[in-house]
Amino acid sequence: MKANPSEPMAAAAPATAPLPELSPAQIRQARGPEDQQYDGTGENRRRDNPVSEEELLWLWLCSCPGLYRNAVTALLHYFGSVKEIFQAPVSALAPWKKTGSKSSLQWVSFLAAHKESGSPERMAELLRRKEISFVSCRHPDFPPSLRDLPDCPYGLFYRGHLPDPGRASVAVIGARCCSNYGYQMAGLISRMLTEQGCQIISGMAVGIDGAAQSACLQNGGSSYAVLGCGADICYPPEHIKLFRSLPERGGVLSEFAPGTKPLRNHFPVRNRLISGLSDAVVVVEAREKSGSLITADLALEQGKDVYAVPGRCSDQLSRGCNRLIEQGAGIILSPDNLLDNLAVSIGLKRVRPDGRDSRRAAAESLPALSDEEQAVFNVLSSDAAGAEEIAAKASLPLVRTLQILVQLQLKNCAAEISRNRYAVILKGNADLF
């Protein structure tokens, strides 16, 4: 069952000092200067109505460093409400100190320090300065798909916006150390989903996640990253450009308090939110034991459809996807095939502005190539090959082949994946290189 913080529990809260009065200005600060969220029509609107005191108290509780969901659940069961937790003196936490468990002693000490130094007003001001918004599970703007989770987060911190519940959302996830083929397939699938009006959900990791979210933004779509750290921390650091771009057309979300470091145990926890926010999950590449498979399993538990890109039996990065397909996941034969399946499974409405099949459109979009350029282009594949190998297959001298490869790169037909190793660029993926 899902925890319901609105229902008082049996234990009575100890007598404490009254809740401090909050001024209207302090209440308004909680939502930050750019608090824009989606309304029922999918359009952004400004919410000028002040936040309730209860919402501020949820902000205060969820901002406590090191206080995880299980501890919050235990506190709510004992005290009965977030207000009673806030009002309770530090001495009221004594029962957990007596347990002697290391985890209890840790979060009790964190909460005790938070009570001494962290008022709701101070938390609201810190969020305002960092341009971070907060929404509790009790607020009407909280993502409805997450409310149904048995382990629903008690609150979300976010930069930018929350996903629009009126639009289809698809998670595109996969391996960090992906192949060039996987990287390009992630970009191609994400771009085609974006063209159909889908929101792209992922984890902003290097590899598949980053390719999918970058392609979405580059094609004018909305993408949302769910982090395993605070919403004010860019992890991985090399995705700083993506981190800064997401709030403009989508958002960066986290259930962890601002300042929380990206610890290893945070990522399996955040994966349930990636699947929870999505109507379907697409796995592009994955090893047999990976976080992507955890997300896929969670999606199945949540009643979501899972699709996987098949790969060669000998490829380590394809074993996870092949295993999912063996277990019943939908197989992605092409991006068009995926869109047709989503039209049935989640009611996605196909949009073909020019009425052309994507493969025909891809062929027509190629720039004019000379005979030699065409010969080299025909040799290229999504698997990077060395210049000497390409020259031999194209029956051209190495020097001439290198010149042609430069010309193909200028025409966005090829990319140098690593030193003197080249691969074809799938349609629409030039901006990923």
What are the DSSP calls for 348-414, one per residue?
PPP--TT---HHHHHHHTSPP--HHHHHHHHH--SS-EEHHHHHHHHT--HHHHHHHHHHHHHTTSE
Give mean pLDDT, residues 23-43: 36
pLDDT tens readout for residues 73-98: 999 999 999 999 999 998 888 877 66
Q: What is the CATH number of domain 366-432?
A: 1.10.10.10
pLDDT tens readout for residues 225-265: 999 999 999 999 999 999 999 999 999 999 999 999 999 99
**Residue 2 predicted with pLDDT over 70:** no
Residue 4 CB-density burial (10 A; 0-12 exposed, 13-18 middle, 19+ buried): exposed
Mean per-residue pLDDT over the chain, rounded: 82
- What gap in Å lies between CA 373 and CA 370, rounded to an integer? 5
The answer to whether the beta carbons of residues 217 and 249 sit under 8 Å apart is: yes
Query: pLDDT band for position 35 (50/70/90)?
Result: very low
- What pLDDT is attached to residue 335? 86
- What pLDDT is attached to residue 423? 79
Query: pLDDT band for position 426 (50/70/90)?
Result: low
Span 169-356 CATH architecture: 3-Layer(aba) Sandwich (3.40)
pLDDT tens readout for residues 142-165: 999 999 899 999 999 999 999 999
- What gap in Å lies between CA 367 and CA 430, rounded to an integer? 13
Domain edges within the chain: 50-127, 169-356, 366-432
**Residue 3 predicted with pLDDT over 80:** no
The angle subtended at Cα 416 by Cα 412 and Cα 418, nearest 5°, is 160
CA–CA distances in Å: residue 294 to residues 103, 128, 301, 309: 25, 34, 11, 16
Amino acid (one-letter) located at 431: D
Angle at which helix 69-79 crosses helix 53-62, to 10 degrees, equals: 130
Cross-strand pairs, 199: 169
- What gap in Å lies between CA 209 and CA 232, rounded to an integer? 19
CA 41 to chain centre: 23
H helices present in 118-239, as ranges: 120-130, 144-147, 180-195, 208-218
- What gap in Å lies between CA 59 and CA 120, rounded to an integer? 7
**Residue 306 predicted with pLDDT over 60:** yes
Query: pLDDT band for position 407 (50/70/90)?
Result: confident
Non-local (6+) Cβ contacts of 21 within 8 A are none
Give mean pLDDT, residues 118-136: 90
- What pLDDT is attached to residue 7? 33
- What pLDDT is attached to residue 362? 45
The angle subtended at Cα 423 by Cα 403 and Cα 209, nearest 5°, is 140
Query: pLDDT band for position 366 (50/70/90)?
Result: low
- What pLDDT is attached to residue 175? 94
